[in-house]
Structures are given as C-alpha cells and as structure tokens.
Structure 1
Amino acid sequence: MSASWTLAPCAVSVPVARRLTRATLRDWGVPDEPADLLVSELVTNAVQHAGGPVRLRLSAADGVLRCEVGDGGPGLPRPRPATPDDEGSRGLALVAALASAWGSTRTCRGKVVWFELPAPVSRSSSGLDSGLLPPVRLVAVPG
C-alpha cells in the first residue's frame, strides 16, 4: 500500500499533511500515532528550510510503515541540541526518539527525510475487504 501527495511550501501544508496521514493510515488499518506527529514535524522542517514543493509519501508493507518527506533543499538535516528557550530544534530529536529507524537521502530533486514505524494491521480495518490478509478456511465447526 502506498499513497503520495505534493504540498505547497507554506505553513497550511503542515496540518494538511497531518490530516492526510491520519485518514490514509486509518483507511489502511494502521495506527496513526505517532506517524501523524512525526510527519507534521518533517513537513514543518521542509516548509521552513527548503522553499519549494513538499512531497509526502506513505507506504506500508511487511509490518513496517515508512513515511518520506521530500523537498528541493540541498542540505541534509542534522539534529542539534535544543535549549529550553528554543522555539524549535526539537523535530528531528522527536523523530529519532519515536521512530524505529530514520534517515535522509540526497536525490536529484533535493532530499528525502524518512522514518519507519511498526505497522500492525487492525482487524477492523478496510484491509480485510481488500485482500491484504489471507482468507480463512474453516475446517470443522462444532455443531
């Protein structure tokens, strides 16, 4: 499963990215927390530092949710310590603390910052109807 969007390089894209993430993951039967928070942190960084369209991609396979945020900025992000008085500088530290893995990669269009989380599929998800889980065959039913 995967979904992707291109967002405008403005502050309004942050809550939009969070809503898209929540809705998509709920449709997939994957918990949306903390992915929605981490996506909003990475989109905020992209909007503040890159100055161009922001690409958001979500994918779930083999029990792993991967979220990628791409932008045209040339520099790879580096976490830096924040002081209590800083208004920012905590986004990457939050990603590092909550994600099972994260990183960044240069691309021909700029960079992609990504993170991964475990993605257990909910039994109440729409995935039951989409063939994501194997069919169950009843062998014997007590009468």
Structure 2
Amino acid sequence: MMTDRRTSPYGFRVEAESEAVPEARRKILALVRGWDVTLPDDTLGDLELLSTELITNAVRHTDSSCAVVVRWTGVRVRVEVTDVSPARPQRCHGALEAEGGRGLVLVESLATAWGSAPDPAGKTVWFELGPSDGTPPPWSTPGKWTITTDSGSATSGYLPAWAEDDPTEAHVPLDQLPERLAGINHRNFFEGPMLPLTAPDVWEGVEEDAVFEGSIDCNPYDPDPGLRVPVVNLQVCVGRWILGLDPQRVAEVAAKLRTHADFLDEKVRPALIAAREDWAAHPA
C-alpha cells in the first residue's frame, strides 16, 4: 500500500531482541517503497543491508534498544539510528574501526553520505541513499514547518535551511500541542578535533574523542528569549558543554582558544622541550 511522504520523518524503537532487527529492516523497506520514491532496486537492496548493519551495531554493542528515524530529504532516503553509547565510529588507517567493523565499512562504501553526531541519549549514526551531485542535500526542506492538531487547527513557523529536522506533524491531539511546540529544536551539528581523553575517576585508560564539538541550536518556543534565536552550544569534552553562545560569545571563545593554542605552541611546548632536555642531562 502506498503511503504519503508526509509520514516523513517516521520514527520507531527497536528492542534489543534477535527478531527485532529483521522486523525493523522490513519496516524501513516497506515504508520507503510506500513513498514511491525514485530509487532503483539495487539502491533499495543497499537500504535494506545498511539499515540492518546500523541497527545490529546499535543493539549488539549496547545491549539496549535503539531509536530509528527514516526520512525523505526531497532527494534521498535518510536513516538515523540513535543508541545509548556516546562512542562514535571513527576512520582509522583508511578503514573504519570501533563498533561493527565490517558493517561500517559497508556503510562507507555503499552510502551516498553517512556520518554520526552526539545525541543527549548517546549518539546518532546516519546514512543517506540517492543521487549525488558531490554535495549532500539539506537534511530538511527549507521554508516552513506546520503542526496540525486533530481538531484541524494549524501552527506554523519558519524552518531554517540549516535545520537537521522538520517538526512538521499532523493529527496531534490538541492537548499535546504545547508539548510539541516546546520540543521544537532547530539544530545543526558540527564536529570538533579528536584528542586522547582520560577520566581517572570514571574510566581507565585513554579514549580518543572529540572536544569542542557542538551544534547551532534554536528553540523558538523556549521560555528564555535568548534561546529563541540561534545560539551555539559547545561540548568541551564528553559530558561538558558551554551553552547558549551568541555570535559575540562564539568570537570570545574562539579568541580564547586561539590564545590558548598560541600559548601551548609558543610557551608550553618550548618549556616542555627544555624540561625534557634538563631531565635527560640529570638522570636519577
């Protein structure tokens, strides 16, 4: 049966059970076929394979359920899988390591585009399938979002071109409209440099993770007027954020980072070299 593409985005939860992954794969394929999008059969086969790999990785490596969102960008099919682990897949020596190994190599080789982003629940790994002109399409259609209630009333707002999600929804119970509006978050993630991190009181050893990654966020119905316009939220490192930055404060943080980078390079590094040379000259 054909389904309306306005069901995009479509989300559901996948439990950490052996039969859940095949069921999720079939659900995704049936949904996309119902949208009647112009994807050839081999691309639909890739959709089935890559969906299986991402969902399997999510439940196998966390032993927990995961959330799946399927959306039509207007050009491509996009599948997002969110699990409870903050550890994101990383490229290493031309291959992909961390969770899933082979599965993530498949994702990189078959997907038109793919990536990962931090999420309050853990992380989201996503892929897109469809035509490629060398630049990925926006994650949502710029212009306007509309939430329609079951009573027929509609609330609309501006949807920025950079937003990763379209909050458009239909048949929302009227008494749930305030909750839906409060939850609207226009967001665009950006990555930070990978550095070796350790937290002696939390885990042993060293883990490579991103620092100063974050997102541009706008919450048009937030009680704080300062968050109703786009701000930058910076995660200093895992679980540590600098929140609500306006353009001036972004510039201030950037200036401090540049100053600190210069301090590390011009002061700390020479001092370290001198200390190491001094240490070598005076063995214990």
TM range (shorter): 0.7 to 0.9
What are the equivalent positions in structure 2 for 1:44-55 lying under 5 Å apart? 44-55=56-67
For each residue in 1:34-72, what CA deviation from the matched residue of structure 2 results, as whole angstroms up to 9, or x when unmatched? 111100000110011122221111000221111001110
TM-aligned CA deviation for residue 79 of structure 1 = 5.2
Q: Where do 5+ consecutive residues of structure 1 fail to align?
A: 83-87, 120-143
Return the alpha-carbon distance in structure 2 between the equivalents of residues 89 and 11 of structure 1.
20
* Number of residue pairs aligned between Structure 1 and Structure 2: 114
What are the equivalent positions in structure 2 for 1:59-98 lying under 5 Å apart? 59-78=71-90, 89-98=101-110
Determine what percentage of the aligned residue pairs are the same residue.
Answer: 38
The verdict on how the C-alpha distance between 1:78 and 1:12 changes in structure 2, with shifts beyond 3 A counting, is farther
Partner of 1:117: 129
Q: Does structure 1 residue 13 correspond to structure 2 residue 25?
A: no
Q: Equivalent residue of 1:33, what SS?
A: helix
Q: Which runs of 4+ in 1 moved over 4 A?
A: 79-82
Amino acid at match of 1:24: L
Report 1 or 2 for greater relative contact order, CA contacts < 8 Å, sequence distance ≥ 6: 1
TM-score, normalised to structure 1's length? 0.73
Partner of 1:102: 114
For each residue in 1:75-118, what CA deviation from the matched residue of structure 2 results, as whole angstroms up to 9, or x when unmatched? 11235659xxxxx6310000000101101111110110000111
> Is this contact kept in 2: 1:51–1:73, CA < 8 A?
no
Specify which structure has the higher proportion of strand: 2
Partner of 1:39: 51
The verdict on how the C-alpha distance between 1:79 and 1:47 changes in structure 2, with shifts beyond 3 A counting, is farther
The verdict on how the C-alpha distance between 1:11 and 1:78 changes in structure 2, with shifts beyond 3 A counting, is farther
Partner of 2:36: 29
Q: Equivalent residue of 2:64, what SS?
A: coil
Return the alpha-carbon distance in structure 1 between the equivalents of residues 91 and 15 of structure 2.
24
For each residue in 1:116-141, what CA deviation from the matched residue of structure 2 results, as whole angstroms up to 9, or x when unmatched? 1117xxxxxxxxxxxxxxxxxxxxxx
User: Once superposed, what is the RMSD of the aligned Cα atoms?
Assistant: 1.8
Q: Which of the pair has more CA radius of gyration?
A: 2
Return the alpha-carbon distance in structure 1 between the equivalents of residues 90 and 75 of structure 2.
28
Higher mean displacement: 95-104 or 9-18: 9-18
TM-aligned CA deviation for residue 26 of structure 1 = 0.7
Q: Equivalent residue of 1:34, what SS?
A: helix
TM-score, normalised to structure 2's length? 0.38
